[in-house]
Amino acid sequence: MVVNTASKCGLTPQYKELEELYTQYKNLNFVILGFPANDFMAQEPGSNKEIAEFCTKNYGVSFPMMAKISVKGKDMHPVYKFLTQRLENGLEDNEVKWNFQKYLIDENGYLEYVISPTTMPNDPQIISWLNAK
């Protein structure tokens, strides 16, 4: 799972469910990659160090958190160009709507689902996908 994150967002408490999901499934070939981004109302203003400290202190995040990137616009990181462009990902064109949008990628690197930011990490669709793997 790839997810763009922010520390000062109304959806920030999803870190808790993301960590629970990671803890439950990490030994089953599952990983979450968090990509902090400041693209939505400047809700991730901190440095990489500050973001890491916030995630660890407040939510016990142990899944990999990457360096802060841009997930939209002219500065969009190549990872998000792959995730959002059908010519790259083979599934669909989409845009990152807000913080905590989730992308489910299979073990071969194929994008399978784009999950709304407001969908919780423990949503039945995500759990079913994980259990089918």
Which is it for the CA torsion 92, 98, 104, 109, positive or negative? positive
Please tell me the total number of residues recorded for the chain in this structure: 133
DSSP 66: -
Active site residue 9: yes
Do residues 132 and 27 touch, judged by C-beta distance below 8 A? no
* Kind and range of the H or E run holding 3: strand 2-5
Q: Which residues pair with 104 in a beta bridge?
A: 113
Active-site position among 9, 11, 52, 130: 9
Chain Cα centroid distance, residue 38: 13
Task: Indicate which residues carry an active-site annotation.
Answer: 9
